[in-house]
Structure 1
Amino acid sequence: MSSTSSILPWDVQRLPRADGSVFLVTGGNAGIGYFVAEQLSATGATVVLGSRNPAKAEVATASIRSRVPGARVRAVRLDLADLSSLRTAVESLDVECLDAVVHNAGVALDDPPRRETGDGHELMFGTNHLGHFALTHWLMPLLSAAPAARIVTMGSFAAKSERLDLDDLQSRKDYRPKRAYGRSKLAQMYFGLELDRHLRAVDSTMASVVVHPGGALDSLTPSRPPVHVRTAAARLRGAPAALLVQGKHAGAWPAVRAVLDPTVRGGQQWGPSVFSLRGKPRHEPVWNHLADTSVAARLWDAGRDLTGVDLGAVPG
């Protein structure tokens, strides 16, 4: 990666080169994940889209190749809701090392009823948090083989107003879809910060960074047909919101910077610069409730028990 990025102001339109690097973006076939993958592809890196839908992944890779000449992009099948499949998915990456993973994929349900993964976990918590927790375990050998790998966890501004119920992580007692989604993203953010504490404890060269996209709307997102098509009507409806929020292409910026910028440090939180809702990516204070290490430690233990994988002995 270019050393000039630590001297020049960060420019979202002029990213440093990352030739020879390999990046994995979970959920890279749609939404914010697509734009993370597209922007990273423009750096010369090899970008792998992790997607549970091979057909959608192929459409996304074709879109990226049409917009980024010479893009080194490909896809692997990755279903975070199926914990037993993750080891095979990682093996299918077929790489010697991984320079960064962006934990972006997620499920968001708007209406009841409560649904579960095949492993019996509430679908959003099981996919968004537990799936990435287990995936990190299987990726560790590849990440530790890179000189200074980044693990970037995509949280959500929706998590800022939520609090975890450690006695009901699976939302069995009082299921409300939007709250369950916010809590699943909050759990991801706790995990990203706790992971970095584990990495620091063993003097690892890896770093774990937490990011969020602020407010990112489809109506403010540029078209990438057929991955995403913004109609003229949607553009007009969304125009007033542009004063406060942004499109998903801009929502990708904090994650892209967390992958590429050598000045980014483990344990940091990054988001948009204007009220944490829109604008260029910046380092921001960790939200007060995310700084509670006792909650993070209990969640870590729960993740280990629920997934059956032990991230406790991360490699140095």
Structure 2
Amino acid sequence: MPSAPSVPQTPRWDVHRLPRAQGKTVLVTGGNAGIGYFVAEQLAGTGATVVLGSRDGAKAEAAIASIVSRVPGADVRRVPLDLADPASLGASVDALGLDRLDAVVHNAGVALDHPPRRATRDGHELMFATNHLGHFALTHHLAPLLAATPGSRVVTTGSFAAKSERLDLDDLHSTHDYQPKRAYARSKLAQMLFALELDRRLRAAGSTTLSVLVHPGGALDSLTPSRPPFHVRTTGTRLGHLPLRLVVQGKDSAAWPAVRAVLDPGVRGGQMLGPRAFGLRGAPRTEPLWGHLTDTTAAARLWAESRDLTGTDPMSTTPAKAVPRRTGPETPGMPAWP
């Protein structure tokens, strides 16, 4: 009796033995610090060309120096990127000097802990504008480069903070009862809904570009290895917080889901990757979407609102419409993001 044909087995993903990625180019927003830095460092170790998108050129240069000191021969560059200013993003993409892009990791973000509410020059609440609207508009400008690369990927970093939050689609800018932590969680939820809606639209259009959602779980500076000059962990801090490793992890480990989303050939569009242990720590795995992330009506409405607010559409390769700057009447006197 003939034996059944063998089924190819997908290799187990090993965070310490990443596949080689020579010839690939990846843009990491906010790659100069935090989780984004470790995403960039780990990708550079695979031979990929990594571009750090950052508002602060000095910090980006420090990050590049750190990566090169740990990854001899690393090809790491930087490009000016201010997600709070959508009108500047076209020039930033032009500055890349690329005709194709294998992946972008939407990682940069702003988290404010205390009032007052802050607004961008366009009058948009700062966290919603930077974390969501900026990446929405950036995806539009990157669309031709991604479309030119078969199997390219848009990797969006969400947050566990969004798991218990709901969007207020009638107050996306948190003009009523502003609470910083809630506004942050809602901005991350908006990113997550965008990532999933983007993949639905890509699939409907027959695109080979994948939109993948990740979240880093719980990540603490005190559990993160030192990367001077922008992060130095003392021995006392490390030992004092060591018991927390049972629950959460450092930012180096929190980078693993995004790195896998970029590199793993088995990853599919519309999936969410997060840490294995309770969604808070450990090796990355595919996990079920949280219930409210499957709300396609809310996602479609958010897409329409984001398109109107930015004058861009990530599914369009036509030039962005100019959206006049304004100072929102709902936030008089609020400082603009520099």
Instruction: Quickly name the TM-score band, shorter chain normalised.
Output: over 0.9
8 A Cα contact 2:167 2:186, kept in partner: yes
Output the aligned Cα RMSD: 1.3
Counterpart AA for 1:44: G
TM-score for both structures, normalised by structure 1: 0.97
For the pair 1:194 / 2:197, whether they are aligned, the reply is: yes
Query: Structure 2: how far apart are the matches of 1:238 and 1:247?
Result: 11
Q: Which runs of 5+ in 2 are unaligned?
A: 1-7, 319-338
8 A Cα contact 1:199 1:314, kept in partner: no
Query: Structure 1: how far apart are the matches of 2:90 and 2:317?
Result: 17
CA drift of 1:9 comes to: 1.0
8 A Cα contact 1:198 1:314, kept in partner: no
CA drift of 1:310 comes to: 2.3
Once the two structures are superposed, the pairs formed by residues 290-305 of structure 1 within 5 Å of their partners are: 290-305=293-308
Query: Structure 2: how far apart are the matches of 1:276 and 1:204?
Result: 30
For the pair 1:86 / 2:83, whether they are aligned, the reply is: no
Q: Which runs of 5+ in 1 are unaligned?
A: none
Query: Structure 2: how far apart are the matches of 1:302 and 1:58?
Result: 36
CA drift of 1:312 comes to: 4.5
* Aligned residue in 2 for 1:54: 57
* Aligned residue in 2 for 1:244: 247
TM-score for both structures, normalised by structure 2: 0.90
CA drift of 1:233 comes to: 2.2
SS of 2:258's equivalent in the other structure is: helix
Deviations 1:22-72 (A, max 9, x none): 000000000000000000000111000000000000000000000001100
For the pair 1:39 / 2:56, whether they are aligned, the reply is: no
For the pair 1:65 / 2:58, whether they are aligned, the reply is: no
Query: Structure 2: how far apart are the matches of 1:80 and 1:160?
Result: 24
Counterpart AA for 1:130: L
* Aligned sequence identity (%): 71
8 A Cα contact 1:26 1:103, kept in partner: yes
8 A Cα contact 1:162 1:183, kept in partner: yes
Query: Structure 1: how far apart are the matches of 2:308 and 2:148?
Result: 27
SS of 1:92's equivalent in the other structure is: helix
Match of 1:272 among 268, 272, 275: 275
8 A Cα contact 2:31 2:39, kept in partner: yes
Match of 1:227 among 225, 230, 233: 230
Match of 2:121 among 101, 118, 121: 118
SS of 1:189's equivalent in the other structure is: helix
Query: Structure 2: how far apart are the matches of 1:50 and 1:232?
Result: 31
8 A Cα contact 2:161 2:185, kept in partner: yes
Query: Structure 2: how far apart are the matches of 1:147 and 1:308?
Result: 27
Deviations 1:142-171 (A, max 9, x none): 011112100000000101011000010000
8 A Cα contact 2:36 2:107, kept in partner: yes
8 A Cα contact 2:141 2:314, kept in partner: no
Deviations 1:197-245 (A, max 9, x none): 0000011010000000000000100111112111122212211211100
CA drift of 1:118 comes to: 1.2
Query: Structure 1: how far apart are the matches of 2:150 and 2:296?
Result: 28
Query: Structure 1: how far apart are the matches of 2:13 and 2:315?
Result: 35
* Aligned residue in 1 for 2:292: 289
Deviations 1:107-135 (A, max 9, x none): 00000000001111000000000000000
Sort the Cα spacing of 1:312 and 1:38 in 2 relative to 1 into closer, same or farther, 3 A.
closer
Query: Structure 2: how far apart are the matches of 1:236 and 1:13?
Result: 24
Query: Structure 1: how far apart are the matches of 2:154 and 2:58?
Result: 27
